[in-house]
Structure 1
Amino acid sequence: MHSINFKRQGGMPGSARLRDCDVLRKITCRQAEENSLYGAICAAPAVSLLPWGLLKKKKVSRGLTTSRGPGTSYQFALSLAEQLFGESVAKEVAELMLMRTDDDNAAKKEFNKVEWSVGHHTPSVLVPIVHGSEEIEVVTVVDILRRAKAKVIVASVEKSLEVLASQGTKIVADILIGDAQESPYDLIILPGGTAGAQRLSKSRILKKLLKEQNSAKRIYGAVYSSLAILQKQGLLKDKRTTAHPSVLVKLKDEEINGAKVDIDGKLITSEVLATVTDFALAIVSKLFGNGRARSVAEGLVFEYPKECM
């Protein structure tokens, strides 16, 4: 039986609160003493582990894994998976996420370039979610856009605000989709997740919102399996997109490119959850400019694509 993999999340205020939890300190120190797995990311190594004496050279456990920031969280998690389950499992997960070790594909391709002008107000973004939505995509998009100072509304298409995402993570939305239809949004983003996309596609309110978004020439986009929702509504017609290989069969009549992120006019698409950080930063760049996108990327410890500088 595997030892507990006790991971400490980063974020300065959060790390400080974790540091002050005596129960947590005892659990983590016991992990270190037993040479069991534990880890910390972002600010947590310095803010939590250091005061607990767990970063002193003579006390560092062989089970300790640390990482620099949110932009390195995929590699951090895969390292933990490899230690828990072996290299083959970690490799399999990385392949499912379409994580690349090279730069074969461009980070972003843009066609029919137009300005994403939203006037003088703060850009508003709607992210609808359901049971089965891909949590990495939801949280990453919402987090990065809020860091950029966009107004992001997460709307549940279920009967309750709380949804159970694809890997069992509970996410609490801001509002229900019925309440979301009372206001227009500068941008609507559909997160993926196979089961989630199927549930999203059944929402009459969401179909109406997407139709209005297109008619008003406002911005919309999707990640991974949710591209099929746009395709079904005719919102990909004569547009260039990028897509996960498993979705290509559903988009056989569309023009597919190999970039991590594709922008065609006021449509933006991305392949899969491993490219969602690039996707969210591309949105920030279009809404606020490269300067703010680069600043957000630096805060995440994520390498901003050179082609965007």
Structure 2
Amino acid sequence: MAKVLVPLAEGCEEIEAVTIIDLLRRAGIEVTTAGLRPGIVKASRGVQLVPDLTLDVALQDDYDMVVLPGGMPGAAHLKEDARILDLLKKMATAGKYTAAICAAPMVLAEAGVLNGKQATSYPGFLDGLPGVSVSGAPVVQDGKVLTSRGPGTAMDFALALVETLAGADKRQQVEAALVRP
């Protein structure tokens, strides 16, 4: 079974965080949520999220994928955290998956993960970055890097993550149970 780490920073976008965690878990994927610091994480709209672990404890394990929820100032907090940047670099070097939505693809860019890649983000967060081909698509996968636009694309993004880690059949199974139009 695939193992995924979802770091949670103060000010993250709750729709994105919860949708990613929920759909991956529906697919039977092991998801660990980790707060950048101990305690409850207050998301961008005031929803309180309780991480499974602190990031320091979570980093003692290995993961197949790291997924960064966006939202501001959550994505900025991720970008300012050296532990997150180091983890993303290690994941990319090891040929493992990195993923980010909304403003968080800027964190992938800061870690050098988007160099020579096509990616998408919330409008404006990747504009003008050298080495990144910016797309307006809702979800973009370029090799082992997946990116998405924002809260409105969170479900499509999470389903793409399911398909990447567990296959098209599992994605269809999860999506059918959601009764999407």
TM-score of the superposed pair, with normalisation by structure 1? 0.57
| One of 102, 111, 120 as aligned partner of 1:242 | 120
Q: 1:257 is matched with which residue?
A: 135
Q: 2:16 is matched with which residue?
A: 137
- The CA RMSD measured in Å over matched residues stands at 1.3
Q: Deviations over 1:205-259 (max 9, x none)?
A: 2122111101111000100111111111211000011122132435464101222
The one-letter amino acid paired with 1:157 is: L
Unmatched 5+ residue regions in structure 2? none
Q: 1:75 is matched with which residue?
A: none
Alpha-carbon separation, structure 2, partners of 1:242 and 1:198: 17
Contact persistence 1:161–1:174 (CA under 8 A): no
Larger of the two Rg values belongs to structure = 1
Alpha-carbon separation, structure 2, partners of 1:223 and 1:266: 15
Runs of 4 or more, structure 1, over 3 Å off, are 250-253
Alpha-carbon separation, structure 2, partners of 1:163 and 1:258: 30
State whether structure 2 residue 108 is matched by structure 1 residue 230: yes
Unmatched 5+ residue regions in structure 1? 1-121, 304-309
Alpha-carbon separation, structure 2, partners of 1:132 and 1:232: 19
SS at match of 2:180: coil
Spell out the pairing of 1:1-309 with structure 2 (5 A cutoff).
Answer: 122-158=1-37, 160-249=38-127, 251=129, 253-303=131-181
Alpha-carbon separation, structure 2, partners of 1:153 and 1:209: 15
Alpha-carbon separation, structure 2, partners of 1:152 and 1:252: 33
* Identity between Structure 1 and Structure 2 (%): 37
Aligned length: 181
Alpha-carbon separation, structure 2, partners of 1:130 and 1:167: 13
Structure with greater proportional helix content = 1
TM-score of the superposed pair, with normalisation by structure 2? 0.95
Contact persistence 1:224–1:244 (CA under 8 A): yes
Q: Deviations over 1:183-210 (max 9, x none)?
A: 1100000100120011111222212211
